[in-house]
Structure 1
């Protein structure tokens, strides 16, 4: 009986272990396939700006190491130091990239500008992994005040390897010392026991980081004493020392990682079972089972030469699959980058001379998506981060990494060991292992933006049973520059839309339902666009860029910008000599004609009707009833449906609404109170679809011409993607009056849309020098279709 009971217990334990292992494997697989995290990086035209300048950017979006093909919308918040959202930029993502700009307000007087970029999908996960960047703002020289260096306040943090300090086993404890701005502070110190006995001396190795090892004994407390760069003495307490447990340590040996797991004293005499799991990029790399007695240790060698570069996480679980220790390491197999070739076809550093570059992508690579910035070489340049260091390192660890690009400058052993200190002193936890081991998947509150922001809507106020699927809605879309008419079919559920009609900027949508029984219905338009978030507690939660003293480069940059705005302001200040003109007042129809018509509609033999100043117009049910009998030679029959038109001895009539061709059914439902002006052209009219048969052009009221209290045509305001502007690059080979001004541009050329493909691996471009620059800095960043990254810099002198 006892033997049978023992067998049953063993079987239950086996099946529980097998089920736990299977559950973890399947959950991790589901997460890696369906919940892969996205990463964002922004390439800017330069690293610092002055108030009033435009920040030009190119955003790269990756998922699983490849350009994201799923999320279609990117959000970029530009936040002032006081937490005010200055701009909420919304951009469409194509092939894992998008671009845009932000104009810094002229009166902006903070030393930094915070940028946060994200997709809806990223908001489902830990917000610590959203893109965050502080851009340094150069205060104008005229507003600079003498800057007194603040007193440096140093602090230290301790990071036990694996997560805890365990008594009775050898522990490695890493540390990181910083000042109040997050800058590294070099230190030296000692570890002492409660009796003041020296246990270990240590000092920082790189950027305020270092480590020491010791074996804590029972009943003894430990204290760290250290001295900072200003020889100020400090005393700190180590994290709590656990009386028992498991220690996990890792060492780097060539292309391998050696993991050593040690146990201290415990109440369990039988061997304990552990599970070592390796994960990378949300995927499972390996699992390994380990059995240990008390006061013993075991090593495992993990080969890494076949892995992709990036952060590899080792997690140790106990027999119940509870995580008890974790360690991260960076794998650098140098397979992630490619090097473009840039040839200077024509170099001329003289004033306003043309320069030509050719960029060539290796033939073996797939399509490349690149951005390029050419700036004055003498202005300051931030070299601390680039697209490679961000995607491979910064975007995968918590906390601030000082100068992350440094760790990719070469492959020396010293940099490898320094980078391992970064791994020891920065947290990493994309997985909530407590959920994963239970098979619990991440909760999704923000569905992925897998379609672009497009025009879509739904009818309300009409029973769906009355909809046959043959109805349609006419929509007039108006933005700041033009109007256009769209006819959309209404589905049986009352919805309508066009997924290919992307919405940019803020537009007004006027709609008319083209069926008599739909007249009581209304339409609501929806754009699935996230509003700007609230950054009320921003200043309390985020650290700004370090206040810095002026440098030669920053000073030159600031002077260039000051000169640039001085030129612009002087140009605006020019006032033309006053000219007095005496003229008779124009008839109101001529005023409306000049205000509303354009192109061929502004000419021609026509009848004109001013509805704004005609109080009788409001008594008519539609515009055709108003026009009936008012136009010699034009027969308008309003008793038929739809209304018919015919010139005496001629054909039909072309109909236009705000100079957009439309139909009679649309115009019959259009409120007369919303019409400002009507122009009826006699035959022949060559302005559009009306051909030689004449035309009726109807214009809707604008701005102050609208009748107060009048409902007019039903409308919605729709906010879509942010308008993308084009970087101005002058062409000095042709005459332009704008070129008469002094040219002091600090960014000479910016192009976020460089592409290569299978047919063409070469990209040719040209730009013109300004009036003062003597050398250029060229920065190229980008990614190929299969996920290879590039950061390329070259100076042209």
Structure 2
């Protein structure tokens, strides 16, 4: 195929990425697929169609997390901002991001969930002050990501520093370095020149400098082994049939080792890819025996699972060569796969395309006001040169506690999120675009396992089973009726749910019940836990049970990433530990002071006071002028027709006429507000509650300041819960507790208007001076100013700025203030 045709196909792929979410996307691809001369045969069209269907329906997502600092001590809070991409754009299809915080024994300490907006979210995790482990594993994902290879889930080990003695680590034989060989394209073939890459690592997966030679079975020198970059390199070998080769090498401690090279295949193909500025040159060589089995080859390039080119060539005239232009491709991993004439995969090679399309031009930081003195005020101006809306996360930490500059948002979303296996110091590969860095990055491509496709299944038309549906909507109040036949659900069936959260006013939701028994209010997104009471508004559904939040993701197992060996950088650990210990001592002292200030006075409480303590909260609690009724222990309550019949004559000044849903209430010239479990309700709903399901009533005389409509007082009705009753399904007001998103806290930033410190004041020894995960940059201004105050001990800061535009371009800037 002429080079211009490859360029046309690459341009078409780029257009498909841009049009993916538009209505004409599929039609555009179909026109490309059927274009005259685009592919050699209908079979090729069928294969390309299967690849595109797979890419369209199973778009992978990848995540990166920015933390406020690189290490933590027990009792500290881990603040984070998560970024999520699908291909090269923010992952907007998934709405919920999950994190499992796993200790070094494999136990999940907490499973948190956060709402994603434009592919971003933030939150925090409080590391227990009793934690004794030396690391904490962070496993993060969307429900969609769980359907695919777990190797592509986000995983990171955070160092935890403490004064506890170190646990027994790897010693002796376990600490021996390992040398692994990787033939380019997959196999080393006899009679053909092969590039065989290698990587030497220690027990923690970090690179080891080695030197040595490769010899044949007779001990004859073949090639030398040398460290080209971070323990990686390659040899060139033209093996003989049935030959065996061995590497003899030394590590940096001059210890001798021997490692056999992979077995040599007598027949096959060799795929070579050369890194050339602006393009990738490839060559496919076929051994004589393999050439007899196929007269042509298909060479397919894919990026983010989309086919970017397909070349069909005869191999009878000798090696098949070609050049792939890169200027129209996005950033990321380009996979080149060679098939025989029957579309059986023979060889595969990955190469990295870095044409800077991922970057927003470098952000800049200017110090407008220096405040390195203790409790001094600092002002920073962050400028983005591109006119695009962006969201930034900014962390300012004490420079002396150390940091980790080996990875960032570039390396996390552009490289390691697409690879299996550990990449040492991945940020290095994005420090510049020099040819030397590109050559070193190609060594990573040669030595890291990678497979998105199972070609045999894909060509057979087998698609992955989806066990975890995508979270395409946010967590909200939802549920499902069980124990009923769908035919019993009428079009008018509905359920009333009364929802109450701590320190918030309750609200009432009325939701229709669908034919499959489900109900949902998409607008009722909530955080933390909530208590819900409900009543089904259809007598034909009596006896049914309600299951709340049936589609909420069940926590998967912890996986195996927490088992990976881990060696943390201890730079700054002693200083960090000293400040953390002092901060914990101050917190403990303040807790002790609070306990000292508490005066304990024992007093016998009446039954109605016990009920008030148990049921009421917030502004509903206390109020000595309120009329309190112990319905739970009132024997006459059982004979009342409804709650309003029971209340008649019990509250001075409250006039009640009628009964049931027709009841009318008047207190000082107006109707009092009715609350069920501190959630606003109406007469109709309150009258439907069985009096036997009520524990306590509190009537607040006008005016009631606890609600918006309290001018005429309020009637607070509390349904039985806990040990007081076990409601039967379908009877009265059944109750349940549901859990929404993990509550998101705000990072505390003190404001010091004077540098004077009172003698008895606590010392400010924060190691994270400033953290803000949601700095929005207005594209009209392209800059934003942040302000923060120093603590009492820090003399220099590390500032890390990361972010993403709404188009998916990434932002990173790191600078020290000294």
| CA distance 1:472–1:256, change in 2 (3 Å) | closer
* Secondary structure in structure 2 of the residue aligned to 1:49: coil
Contact 1:473–1:511 (8 Å) recurs in 2? yes
| CA distance 1:321–1:558, change in 2 (3 Å) | same
Contact 2:695–2:718 (8 Å) recurs in 1? yes
Give the one of 100, 112, 115 matched to 2:135: 112
In the alignment, the residues of structure 1 paired with residue 153 and residue 759 of structure 2 have an alpha-carbon distance, to the nearest angstrom, of: 41
| CA distance 1:710–1:21, change in 2 (3 Å) | closer
| CA distance 1:270–1:357, change in 2 (3 Å) | closer
| CA distance 1:637–1:739, change in 2 (3 Å) | farther
**Cα distance, 1:639 vs. partner?**
4.8
| CA distance 1:29–1:554, change in 2 (3 Å) | same
Contact 1:369–1:782 (8 Å) recurs in 2? yes
* Secondary structure in structure 1 of the residue aligned to 2:444: helix
After TM superposition, the score normalised by the length of structure 2 is 0.88
* 2:588 equivalent in structure 1: 569
In the alignment, the residues of structure 2 paired with residue 472 and residue 240 of structure 1 have an alpha-carbon distance, to the nearest angstrom, of: 68
Contact 1:377–1:775 (8 Å) recurs in 2? yes
Q: Confirm or deny that 1:128 pairs with 2:151.
A: yes
Per-residue CA deviation, residues 542-564 of structure 1 (Å, 9 max, x unaligned), is 4132255x43x121111111111
* Secondary structure in structure 1 of the residue aligned to 2:662: coil
Per-residue CA deviation, residues 630-678 of structure 1 (Å, 9 max, x unaligned), is 345544345564333346x955443222443311221122243443432
Contact 2:291–2:315 (8 Å) recurs in 1? no
Q: Confirm or deny that 1:668 pairs with 2:691.
A: no
**Cα distance, 1:691 vs. partner?**
5.8
Q: Confirm or deny that 1:221 pairs with 2:244.
A: yes
**Cα distance, 1:266 vs. partner?**
1.5
In the alignment, the residues of structure 2 paired with residue 107 and residue 126 of structure 1 have an alpha-carbon distance, to the nearest angstrom, of: 34
* 1:731 equivalent in structure 2: 751
Contact 2:474–2:525 (8 Å) recurs in 1? yes
Structure 2: runs of 5+ lacking an equivalent: 1-36
Identify the range of structure 1 (25-34 vs 276-285) with the bigger mean alpha-carbon deviation.
25-34
* Secondary structure in structure 2 of the residue aligned to 1:740: coil
* Secondary structure in structure 2 of the residue aligned to 1:213: strand
Contact 2:83–2:120 (8 Å) recurs in 1? yes
* 1:10 equivalent in structure 2: none
Q: Confirm or deny that 1:282 pairs with 2:299.
A: no
Give the one of 426, 437, 453 matched to 2:448: 426
Contact 2:155–2:561 (8 Å) recurs in 1? no
In the alignment, the residues of structure 1 paired with residue 414 and residue 757 of structure 2 have an alpha-carbon distance, to the nearest angstrom, of: 46
* 1:370 equivalent in structure 2: 392
Per-residue CA deviation, residues 396-439 of structure 1 (Å, 9 max, x unaligned), is 12111110111111223322211111111012211111123234
* 2:733 equivalent in structure 1: 713
Give the one of 413, 418, 438 matched to 1:391: 413
Identify the range of structure 1 (426-435 vs 459-468) with the bigger mean alpha-carbon deviation.
459-468
Contact 1:372–1:750 (8 Å) recurs in 2? yes
| CA distance 1:587–1:179, change in 2 (3 Å) | closer
Per-residue CA deviation, residues 704-749 of structure 1 (Å, 9 max, x unaligned), is xx41556673122322211111111112239999993111100001
| CA distance 1:619–1:570, change in 2 (3 Å) | same
**Cα distance, 1:211 vs. partner?**
0.7
**Aligned-residue CA RMSD (Å):** 3.1
After TM superposition, the score normalised by the length of structure 1 is 0.90
| CA distance 1:677–1:165, change in 2 (3 Å) | same
Give the one of 764, 768, 777 matched to 1:747: 768
Identify the range of structure 1 (651-660 vs 145-154) with the bigger mean alpha-carbon deviation.
145-154
Identify the range of structure 1 (496-505 vs 84-93) with the bigger mean alpha-carbon deviation.
496-505
* 1:322 equivalent in structure 2: 344
**Cα distance, 1:160 vs. partner?**
0.3
Q: Confirm or deny that 1:473 pairs with 2:495.
A: yes
**Cα distance, 1:69 vs. partner?**
1.2
* 2:94 equivalent in structure 1: 71
Contact 1:168–1:215 (8 Å) recurs in 2? yes
Identify the range of structure 1 (281-290 vs 77-86) with the bigger mean alpha-carbon deviation.
281-290
* Secondary structure in structure 2 of the residue aligned to 1:571: helix
Contact 1:82–1:538 (8 Å) recurs in 2? no
| CA distance 1:222–1:687, change in 2 (3 Å) | closer
Identify the range of structure 1 (745-754 vs 390-399) with the bigger mean alpha-carbon deviation.
390-399
Alignment of 1:264-279 (within 5 A): 264-266=287-289, 272-279=295-302
* 1:534 equivalent in structure 2: 557
* 2:186 equivalent in structure 1: 163
* 2:370 equivalent in structure 1: 347
**Cα distance, 1:133 vs. partner?**
0.8
In the alignment, the residues of structure 1 paired with residue 662 and residue 339 of structure 2 have an alpha-carbon distance, to the nearest angstrom, of: 77
* 1:789 equivalent in structure 2: 810
Alignment of 1:199-214 (within 5 A): 199-214=222-237
* 1:19 equivalent in structure 2: 42
In the alignment, the residues of structure 2 paired with residue 593 and residue 483 of structure 1 have an alpha-carbon distance, to the nearest angstrom, of: 17
| CA distance 1:101–1:737, change in 2 (3 Å) | farther
Identify the range of structure 1 (692-701 vs 384-393) with the bigger mean alpha-carbon deviation.
692-701
**Cα distance, 1:518 vs. partner?**
5.1
Identify the range of structure 1 (498-507 vs 112-121) with the bigger mean alpha-carbon deviation.
498-507
Contact 1:513–1:669 (8 Å) recurs in 2? no
* Secondary structure in structure 1 of the residue aligned to 2:401: coil
Give the one of 770, 780, 786 matched to 1:765: 786
| CA distance 1:213–1:618, change in 2 (3 Å) | same
Give the one of 71, 89, 104 matched to 1:48: 71
* 2:422 equivalent in structure 1: 400
* Secondary structure in structure 2 of the residue aligned to 1:138: coil
Contact 2:613–2:621 (8 Å) recurs in 1? no
Give the one of 715, 725, 729 matched to 1:696: 715
Aligned residues: 773
Contact 1:269–1:293 (8 Å) recurs in 2? no
Per-residue CA deviation, residues 443-485 of structure 1 (Å, 9 max, x unaligned), is 3222211111111123456665565544543322233434513
Q: Confirm or deny that 1:311 pairs with 2:333.
A: yes
* 1:626 equivalent in structure 2: 646
* 1:5 equivalent in structure 2: none
In the alignment, the residues of structure 2 paired with residue 470 and residue 54 of structure 1 have an alpha-carbon distance, to the nearest angstrom, of: 49
**Cα distance, 1:681 vs. partner?**
4.6
Identify the range of structure 1 (560-569 vs 265-274) with the bigger mean alpha-carbon deviation.
265-274
Contact 2:670–2:712 (8 Å) recurs in 1? yes
